[in-house]
Structure formats: C-alpha cells, structure tokens
Structure 1
Amino acid sequence: MNLIAWLIVACEIAFWVVILVGLTLRYVFKRKKLSLLFFTSVPLIDLILLVVAGLDIYFGAKPTAAHAIAAVYIGSSIAFGKSMIAWLDEKFRYYIMKDGSKPVKRCGMEFARHGMKSFGQHVFAYIIGALLLFGMILITNNHVQNAPFYEILQLWTLIIGIDFVISISYFIWPKRSL
C-alpha cells in the first residue's frame, strides 16, 4: 500500500477518534467548549489528506486509485460529516451516557424521506469529489496516467445511480416497522 492509501486509513481513524474524544469531553467531562474545539478540527483531517494527495501528484507521483479514493473520502467526509457526528452524538448520549431519548428507528415515508436526504448528501459528496478528481487530472495533465481518476469516477457514477434507485424504491416499497 502506498503513502496515500495509508493516509486515508489514518484519516478515517483520526476522524472517529476526534469525534469520540469530543463526545467524551462534552458528556463525560462536561467540557463543552473544549469538545467544540475537537469537532471543529475535523475538517483539518480532510485538509491534511487533500494537501498531501495534491502535493504527491504535483511532485510527480504516478496517479493511483488511492489518490482518487482520497477525493472520494474528502467529498464524503464534507457531505456526510455533520450528519455522522449527529448520529454518533445521539447514540453516545443514549447508550453510553444513559441520557436522552432512545434513537428512533425510521420506517414508512419517514424512512423514505431520510433515504432521499442521504442520496442528496451523496450527490453533494459526488460533486465535491468529482471536482477534486478533475483538479488532480489538471495537475497531472497526462491522459494515460489519469486512468485511475476516470475509473473511480465511473465506478462512483454507477454507485450513485444505484443509490438513486434504492432511494426511490423506499417510496414504492416503504420499510415496515419491526
């Protein structure tokens, strides 16, 4: 595995560690201002990955799928980051702190609307990631070497199409409550 692949793994681990530390500071130690520092530092993780991947390409590294996945990771982190933090916050309060209301399991049209909202976030992630991919394509300016970027973009386009079909299916066949 190359440097960028390891950095993606490190960024993902750092994302969850920073969030868990922030939640622990907020709820266990009652240090709300300090927890906000951790939550607001999450975008720095993405910035580090963006800068390192961009510089790696700029200084002549051969583009790999890892570079392309870095763009996917950054787009997804930006688009889904806030909702993932809110999701974990709700779970942390209920299951760890034994506080707050039990997380509601969505069903029916509420589940369908939530699925469509998630699809909208996926489209936002796709736009950000695609822009980053096109930026890396411009940096390398070599059609042959840019193949990993185009391949990941094609795969992601297929995945977003599948996500759309699944999201629409929730309106046709709503999820039943258990």
Structure 2
Amino acid sequence: MIVTLIIACEIGFWVLLAAGLALRYLARMPRLGAAVLLCEPVMELVLLVVTTMDLKNGAEPDWKHGVAALYIGYTVAYGHYTVKWLDGHAAHRLAGGPRPAGAGHGKARVAHEWRLWTRTVLAAAIGAGLLQVAIWYVGDAGDISSLRAWQSGALRAVALHALVAVGYTLWPPKAPADAEAEGRPPLARTR
C-alpha cells in the first residue's frame, strides 16, 4: 500500500503541476492555478500520515518506509524549486513572459550547484529525521536495520552531490564562445 501511495503521490505531483500551470497560463485563471499548485503539499502530508499509521498498526519497518521518508524529504527540499522553475518556463512559453535565467556559467554556475547541494542536505536531513522518529517509535520491538540503511543512503546522496558540486567548483563551465570563434559566419551587419 505504501509503494502504491508513493507512486500515486509522484503522479499526483506532476498532474497537479500540469493542471495548475495550464489553469494559470492557458485558461488565464491564475488564482485557481495557484490554488491547485498549493494542493501539492497535501499529498505529502497524506503520505506521512499513512506511513505513520502503517507503522502504528504493527507493520514491520522495511524499505517502503525508507522510500516514503526520503521522498517526503526530497519533495520538501526540491518541490517549491521545481514548481518555480517550471512556472518560469511556462510563463515564458505560454504567456510571453521573459526567458527564465539559466544556471549560468563560471562562478554563477558554481554557486547554483552549491545551492542545489544545500537542498540535497535539507532533503537528506528531513528524510533521515523522519526515519529516526520511526526508529524511536518502533524501538526495540522491531527490526530497524532497513530504516538505518536508508539513513546511510541519504548521507551517501549528500556526499555524492558534494562531489558533483566540487567538480563544478574545480572545473566551472565556461560561457559558450561567440559565433565567429565556433567557425560560423557572423551575422550580416547593417551600415
């Protein structure tokens, strides 16, 4: 049941996101679109409640509870960022808004990667915290090894993402060269 709910929450996230953006920009109903987008955190709350009830009803803690905790952490840390990013692109494509700023190059890209890493730290902290609460809740009565393994997995994700950010720090992407440097003929100039 937990796995089905996690899948439903993920599908629901994208359905609500598409519906909210469609209402905002295609149907020209920005308030209703915003209201639909605000319904997304409710799904994560439902997942948290159902996972807690599952453990309370005597379910043996296993990988499903670990996935649920980390999914909630990821959604809290990256959910708003994802919605904002997609909203900017939808406003540009569907409503003639300004082109959204990219991650940039050089120092700007390095700073962007470290901000994303900070979000990953937040996601891991929330997920590991929820797992710790579950571990305390289960206590000595059950096998908590799978929950501990998911906590370790969250720490590995933080470390792996730190390596990516360090890579961008050591080798920041450079701005693309202009048209002449790439061997393309320059645009015709008017006098």
2:64 alignment counterpart? 66
2:153 alignment counterpart? 155
Q: Which has the higher contact order (CA 8 A, sep 6+)?
A: 1
| Aligned-partner Cα distance in 2 for 1:65–1:134 | 14
1:49 alignment counterpart? 47
What residue ranges of structure 2 are gaps of 5+ in the alignment? 177-191
**TM-score after normalising by structure 1:** 0.92
Q: Which residue identity does 1:57 align to in structure 2?
A: L
Question: How far is the alpha carbon of 1:162 from its aligned partner?
Answer: 1.3
1:22 alignment counterpart? 20
1:81 alignment counterpart? 79
| Aligned-partner Cα distance in 1 for 2:135–2:39 | 28
Aligned to 2:58, what secondary structure does the other structure show? coil
Which structure 2 residues correspond to residues 84-123 of structure 1 after superposition, within 5 A? 84-95=82-93, 97=94, 99-105=96-102, 106-123=104-121
Q: Which residue identity does 1:120 align to in structure 2?
A: T
| Aligned-partner Cα distance in 2 for 1:118–1:155 | 18
Which structure 2 residues correspond to residues 28-47 of structure 1 after superposition, within 5 A? 28-47=26-45
| Aligned-partner Cα distance in 2 for 1:74–1:35 | 23
Aligned to 2:118, what secondary structure does the other structure show? helix
**1:144-172 CA distance string (max 9 Å, x none):** 61111111111221121111121122111
Larger Rg: 2
Question: How far is the alpha carbon of 1:86 from its aligned partner?
Answer: 0.9
What is the root-mean-square deviation of aligned Cα atoms in Å? 1.5
Aligned to 1:141, what secondary structure does the other structure show? helix
What residue ranges of structure 1 are gaps of 5+ in the alignment? none
Q: Which residue identity does 2:108 align to in structure 1?
A: E
Q: Which residue identity does 1:39 align to in structure 2?
A: L
Aligned structure 1 segments of 4 or more residues deviating by more than 4 angstroms: none
1:145 alignment counterpart? 143
1:131 aligns with 2:129: yes
**1:94-144 CA distance string (max 9 Å, x none):** 34x162233444222111111100111111111111111011111211376
2:184 alignment counterpart? none
| Aligned-partner Cα distance in 1 for 2:5–2:26 | 30
Tell me, yes or no, if the aligned pair for 2:61 and 2:142 is still in contact at 8 Å. Answer: no
